[in-house]
Chain A
Amino acid sequence: MTPAPERDRALGRALRSLDAPPATPRFWADLSSRLAAERTAAASSFPTDAASAVGAPAAAGAPAALPVAEAPEAAVHDPASRRGRRPLVPPWALAAAAVAAVFGLVTLAVRPDGSETVVNTPAGPPEASVPAATSATVGAVASGSVPSTSGPGQAGASVAAPTTAPPPTAPPTTRPPTAPDGDLTPPPWSGPALAQGAVPGVFVEAWEAAGSPSACAALAFDDLGTGAGATPRTADFGSGAWAVAYDQPDAPGVRSDGTFDPAAGRSTFGIAGTSLSAGDDRYDGFAFAFLWSDASRADYGPEGGTGPKSLAYLQVAGQGCLYNVWSHRGEAHLEHLLAHLRFVEGAGAPDRPR
C-alpha cells in the first residue's frame, strides 16, 4: 500500500494539474476600471457600493485584425480570441460611473510596472450605450517617466537625422508630465499645429501619398524621448493609409521580414493613420488606456497581449481614422510618444485643434 505522505503528494500533484486559465488582459483592464471607480467614489462621496465599477473597455466581441499585415512595421497584432462572457461591470455601476464622469471626476488608475504614470479616469458614456470605438474607460496618461532629450528638433529631410531643422514655429507641448487628479488633460494636439519645417518631411510626404485624407490628418511627434536621433522614413501600411517609421541603429525593432530583433534598429517606433475607421470593431484587450478631455482616447499595451512591441490604437476627436502608434522601446516610450503628438500645418490639421 502506498504510504500516506506519498499518497498526499500524489494527490497534490493531481490537484495542481487542474490549473486555472491565466488572467486575461481584459480581466486586468476591468480591475483597473473598478479600482479607478473606487477612487472616484471616494472623491465624489458616492456610496461605495453604488460606484464600485466603471465602464469596462470597449465591448467584447470578435476582434478584428487591421488589414495591413503585409507591412512589416504595421502595428497589427495578434488578437487573442475571447469567449463571450457577461460583463464584469454591472449596469447600475456603469450608470453611477457615468454620473460621476458627468461631474468630471477622475481618479488614479493602476499600472503594473510601477512607472510614474498618472491615469485619469473615468469619463464618457457607459459601455453599453456607445460604439466600441468611443466607449469610455480609462483615462489620460502623461509621459513623465521618460526624460525628454530630443526636443522638438526632429525635422529635416525624409531620411536625414533630425539635427539641423529649425525650431518649430509653434511652441512644443508643455503639458505637465503628470496630470493631477481632478481633471482630464487636453490632448497634446490641442495646441497649435507644428509648422511643416519643424517636422520631418516624410510626414507630409506620407500623408500626401495616402491621398491627403482629410479625416486622417498627419500627426507628428514633437519629442522623441529615448528615440531621439532615430531616422524617420515612410512606411507601408497599405492603401489609403499613411505611416512614418523611425529606424534607430542597434535599438529593438523588426527585421525586413517583420520578425522582432532586439537590435534590428528598424521600425523601432512610429505612427500610422490607418485605413480603418476609428469606429470599426477591433481588438479590445489592451490593458491600459488614455482618455483626454476632448474624448480622444488611446488603448494600448503589449501587442497581442505579450509584446515585445508596445502598441496603441489611437482615436483622435474630429478624425475619422484609427491611428496606430508603436514602440519597441517599451511602454513608457510609447506613453511618451502619445503625449507628444501634434498636428502638422498643411497636412490635414483642423483649423481649430480639438
Chain B
Amino acid sequence: MATVRGSADGEVDPSVLERARRGDGRAFERLVRHYDPRLRALAYRLLGDADRTDDALQEAYVKAYRSLAAFRAEAPVGTWLYRIAYNACLDELRRRGRAECPADDVPEWADPAAGAEERLADRASLAAALAALPPDQAAAVVLVDADGLGYAAAAEVLGVPEGTLASRLSRARSALRQALRGEAAREETR
C-alpha cells in the first residue's frame, strides 16, 4: 500500500485535503487512509467487532466523500472525520446493538511495564467494561484517554459542550475503574 504522508501535527498534508475537496478521488483516499488507524481504533472500541468496524467506516467514508465539498474547515478535517465516524458507529449500534468483544480478538497488553491499573485488568475484562458503557461515555473516554484528543476537540466530535464532555468522561472513567476493580477482586477470590 502506498504510504500516506501527513504533517507533523498528525493532520494530513493540506494539499491532499485541498485536492480531495476539489473532487480528486485519489486524494480523498489518501485522506481517509491517513486518518483510518485512529478512526478505526475509535470504531473498534465502540463496536467491539472488526467486521462491524469495517462496515461503519465504509459508511463513514462514503458520507465524508459526499459532503467533503461542503466541508468548511472550521474544524480540523481529522475532527470532522472523527465525528462522521462516531455517528456511523452510533448508527451501527442502533441497527445491531453492541457486540461483546471476544477475548481472542483483543491483543495482549502491549506494555510489559504496565502499572497498577493495568494489572487490575485483563484485556477481555477491559473490553467488556468498555462495551458496557453507554456509547457517548465510551466515546468520551476513548477519544480523550486513548486517542489523546483535547476536551475541545472531543466535545466537537461528540457534538456536545465541553462541560458535558467532561461529565461523560468522569462517569466513564469511574465506571471503567469500578468494573476493573470488581473484576480483579473476583479473580482474587476464585
Contacts and interface: CB of A to CB of B under 8 A. Distances in A.
B123 A18 contact: yes
Given A11-B117, A14-B118, A112-B30, A19 B41 contact: yes
Contact of B126 (A6, A15, A39, A331): A15
A263 interface: no
B1 A114 contact: no
B121 to A, nearest CB: 6
Interface in B98-122: 101, 105-111, 114-118, 121
Given A13-B111, A38-B65, A110 B29 contact: yes
Contact of A17 (B51, B110, B144): B110
B94 interface: no
Question: Main SS of chain B's interface residues?
Answer: helix
Interface in B119-159: 121, 123, 126-127, 130, 141-142, 144-146, 148
Nearest to A88: B58
A111 B29 contact: yes
Interface stretch (A20-28, A98-106, A161-169, A198-206): A20-28
Contact of A11 (B27, B44, B50, B141): B141
Contacts, number: 157
B86 interface: no
Interface stretch (B32-40, B76-84, B182-190): B32-40
B130 A19 contact: no
A272 to B, nearest CB: 24
Interface in B158-189: 173, 176-177
Nearest to A115: B26
A16 B110 contact: yes
B70 to A, nearest CB: 14
Interface residues of A, number: 52
Given A31-B61, A35-B29, A17 B36 contact: no
Given A52-B62, A110-B25, A112-B26, A15 B141 contact: yes
A34 B62 contact: yes
B54 A27 contact: yes
B111 to A, nearest CB: 6
Given A10-B117, A16-B110, A20-B41, A31 B126 contact: no
B145 A108 contact: no
Nearest to A107: B25
A30 B121 CA distance: 37
Contacts of B111: 13, 17
A195 to B, nearest CB: 38
B4 interface: yes
Contact of B36 (A18, A23, A88): A23
A8 B145 contact: yes
A109 B27 CA distance: 11
A259 interface: no
A305 interface: yes
Contact of A19 (B36, B62, B107, B144): B107
A267 interface: no
A11 B177 contact: yes
21 contacts: A6-B115, A7-B177, A11-B176, A12-B145, A13-B118, A15-B126, A17-B123, A18-B126, A20-B41, A21-B105, A22-B40, A23-B57, A31-B29, A31-B62, A35-B65, A38-B66, A83-B51, A112-B29, A113-B30, A114-B27, A115-B26
> Which 7 pairs show the lowest CB-CB distances between chains A and B?
A20-B44, A113-B2, A10-B117, A12-B145, A15-B146, A110-B29, A110-B25
Given A27-B54, A88-B58, A110-B29, 13 more contacts: A2-B117, A13-B117, A14-B109, A14-B126, A15-B142, A17-B107, A17-B126, A19-B44, A25-B1, A31-B29, A35-B65, A83-B51, A306-B1
Interface of B: 1-2, 4, 16, 25-30, 32-33, 36-37, 40-41, 43-45, 50-51, 53-55, 57-58, 61-62, 65-66, 101, 105-111, 114-118, 121, 123, 126-127, 130, 141-142, 144-146, 148, 173, 176-177
Interface of A: 2, 6-25, 27-28, 30-32, 34-36, 38-39, 48, 52, 83, 85-86, 88, 108-115, 117, 287, 301-302, 305-306, 331
